[in-house]
Amino acid sequence: MFALNEDHIAIRDMALDFAREKLAPHALEWDEKKHFPVDVIRETAPLGLGGIYIREDVGGSGLTRFDAALIFEALATGCPAISAFISIHNMCAWMIDRFGSPAQREKFLPPLLSMERLASYCLTEPGAGSDAAALRTRATRQGDHYVLNGQKQFISGAGNERDFYVVMARSGDEGPRGISTFLVEGGTPGLKFGANERKMGWNAQPTRAVIFEDCRVPVENRLGEEGIGFKIAMAGLDGGRLNIGACSLGGAQSALDKALAYMKERKAFGKRLDEFQALQFTLADMATELEAARTLLWRAAAALDAKAPDATQLCAMAKRFATDTGFSVADRALQMFGGYGYLADYGVEKIVRDLRVHRILEGTNEIMRLIIAREMVGR
């Protein structure tokens, strides 16, 4: 059902080549120095990766969610943290493409597609993570502007003057129907940032609080009508969950490949490690689980492309399974190295650290189970 055609293979190989040449050689250094390689990220724009599934009339690549899954898995073989950020950027661009007016699409999308500006997604707050509908950031209408006050937490890529922010804020009553979406440009007065968070992984991209203090945003920067912000946020997350699942698969595949290469060279008790049947069985399980997760992810991507009624449930299933599987495979790959796997030199411990957060973001895997179960019992 999911055999890759020539176009799929070409797209995947293009992303694999970029990961091999531009990401993998520097990933450990970026992680160690907590360096955000903006210039390298921008090099993906000429390849069409600034707007993978954006319509072509504004310069987008017009590809499918299935194509995107191939791309993000391939990029993550070089660095999961960078692949994940490019995914977030694409999710923000898609929201504008899907819900924006013609004027908004023409104004905001070209600099995002060229990656002149990088986009961050601002939903989570200090007191509103899994319960996103409880967010408190307030947008008050004052004439031809909204005035934003509040704080967003754990915002990937935040802090650059040239950044761009897709912000969910409360413009009405409590609950999901009181939320609207705003496009906030870097450099807007009243837009401020917290310190770069110290994290377990994802050190190659910054994570900051985004703070709004009487931040004035023009009414024409509201995305869609008032009150549909929660709908926009949830629509974006279906695809975002596929992307982060794909990033988990790419990182785990890289860890498995590293472990297999190491086991062909390392000897113990007079034999190469890959000659021990017990370790061969572990490798077989790892490869099988990755392939099963990949198949489910592709199934969900195809459902989202087809706008199937069960797409949201399948995306939740794929995100839960792919991120759990990816982390488990990477952890077992580290074990194959023994003590050397715990050292930074081999790059496996970085992958384990990077993949751990995938089980939390884009909706925790507990929330994924809740989404799946609600669809099953008809709620």
Residue with tokens 């023409």: 106
Q: What SS3 state is found at 139?
A: strand
Residue range 85-105, pLDDT digits in tens = 999 999 999 999 999 999 999
**254: CB partners within 8 A, 6+ apart:** 24, 76, 77, 78, 351
Question: CB-based contacts of 206: which residues, under 8 Å, 6+ apart?
Answer: 34, 36, 156, 157, 158, 159, 196, 197
Ramachandran area for residue 249 (φ above 0: left; ψ -120 to 50: alpha; else beta): alpha
DSSP β-bridge partners for residue 141: 146
> How far apart (Å, rounded) are the C-alpha atoms in residues 263 and 332?
13
Q: Which residues pair with 193 in a beta bridge?
A: 210
Considering only CA atoms, give the Rg of the chain: 21
204 contacts 36 by C-beta, under 8 angstroms:
yes
Position 16 scores a pLDDT of: 98
Query: Rounded to two decimals, what is the model's pTM?
Result: 0.95
Long-range contacts of 61-65 (CB under 8 A, 24+ apart): 63/11, 64/301, 64/305, 65/239, 65/242, 65/301, 65/302, 65/304, 65/305
Q: Check residue 128 and give its pLDDT.
A: 81
362 in catalytic set: yes
What's the pLDDT at 288? 98
Q: Which domains does the chain have, with CATH numbers?
A: 6-113 (1.10.540.10), 119-226 (2.40.110.10), 230-377 (1.20.140.10)
Q: CB within 8 A of 212, min separation 6: which ones?
A: 137, 148, 149, 150, 151, 167, 169, 184, 190, 191, 192
What is residue 216's predicted lDDT score, i.e. its pLDDT?
97
Residue 284 and residue 159: Cα distance in Å, rounded?
43
pLDDT on residue 132: 78
Residue with tokens 């939740």, as numbered in its chain: 316
- Averaged over successive runs of 10 residues, the pLDDT of the chain (379 residues) comes to 87 98 98 96 97 96 97 98 97 96 96 96 89 89 96 93 89 91 95 96 96 97 95 92 98 98 94 94 98 98 96 97 98 97 96 98 95 88
Q: How many CB atoms lie within 10 A of CB 364?
A: 16
Of 73, 125, 289, 362, which one is the catalytic site residue? 362
The pLDDT value given to residue 161? 66
Q: How far is CA 48 from the centre of its chain?
A: 17
Q: What is the pLDDT of residue 379?
A: 60
